[in-house]
Structure 1
Amino acid sequence: MFHKEGYKIIFITFVIVVGAALIADSFIGINWLRTIVLLALIVFLVLILQFFRNPKRNTVLNDNQVLSPVDGKVVVIEEVYEKEYFKEKRLQVSVFMSPINVHVTRYPIGGHVIFSKYHPGKYLVAWHPKASEENERTTVVVENQTYGKVLYRQIAGALAKRIVNYAQLNDKAVQGTDSGFIKFGSRVDLFLPLDTKINVEINQKVRGGETVIAELKK
């Protein structure tokens, strides 16, 4: 199953690969060279298909928990001052996505979208310390009565040239469902209450819509 954001790119890539394969088969007389070119075209197509895949996830709805919004690796867990919306200290958990990860962004909690804003910006590498403030990004805040407010921020990376955000003000957010997409390498930051219990560690691999990032302390 592929994400709708990839339909056009997949179609164009398929046409290019087929066309290039036909040209290679017709004009490259050296067998080994023709084989290498055809294999390279197949690998390229497979990479594009893999990037835009949208696998189903077994999301267990729980208003006490924050799920990972994306697939990737946890690269930041620290207390920071969030100055765009909360304007106070929060726990930041950041997940980095490589080009081979699923790039669907999912709602980390259920509730209602109470803030959604797009920021144009630079395309620094996603792990750069200033990426969350200077890169192209979107900021979304979802609130429910149990957990409170959770902010997540899609951040474009050096390869990402387009962020897609479906979350609009007053939308109903269903935990684990699609809220956006980032094309080609990026990062998502979560900003959580200070009394949150963090359930992940640095360098841990997480799955969007399934891995529990944090939960309310009992």
Structure 2
Amino acid sequence: MLSDADTANKSAIEFWFDFSSPYSYLAAEKIDALAASHQRIVHWHPVLLGAIFQITNAVPLVNMPLKGDYSVRDFARSARFFDLPFTMPAKFPLPTQLAARAYYWLCDHDMAMAHDFARAIFRALFVHDRDISALAVVCDVAASLGLDADALSLAAAQPEVKARLKSETDAAILKGMFGAPFFMVDEEPFWGVDRLPQLEKWLATGGF
């Protein structure tokens, strides 16, 4: 556990992601430990990548000719590189707004538990091939962590929780996010799980 003194003069790492992003799954498994080793905390921000793609005129990697086949291969290879399990979901990409809304509701109550929930959602999709666009699956993941699934289900439908997800996505766009995962460290942006070594060097050296 980081003390207040450890983090008092160090800004948090901002971590934006979509639950439907394989590279975000890999980053989610690594970023908290990496940050803690440099006396930083991480603020997690699930967003809707589809809304961002409307701004950038992009499409999911798997839907791009030639690049799609490569990407599927790279998802699995990158997981092996990070020594993480990976299964390419049968349904992909898929909507993630329910999981994202649930995350923000949890985060307002317990940030550490919200991070655990996010990792569990990622594993449900990219390890166990579960359809996280289904409310029943999101609630089951929550229940497996000892959370109140009924309360979470109700919260995910609340207008203020829906608005929170939209505002977080809008804020990510204003920060320059165009793909996931996306990080901000000391106002320096890093895109992609393959930039974690650069991010770590930045933390170690104070910038380069």
Give the helix-richer structure, 1 or 2.
Answer: 2
Q: TM-score of the superposition, structure 2-length normalised? A: 0.25
- Structure with greater strand share of residues: 1
Q: TM-score, length-normalised on structure 1? A: 0.24
Computing the radius of gyration from Cα coordinates, the structure with the larger value is 1
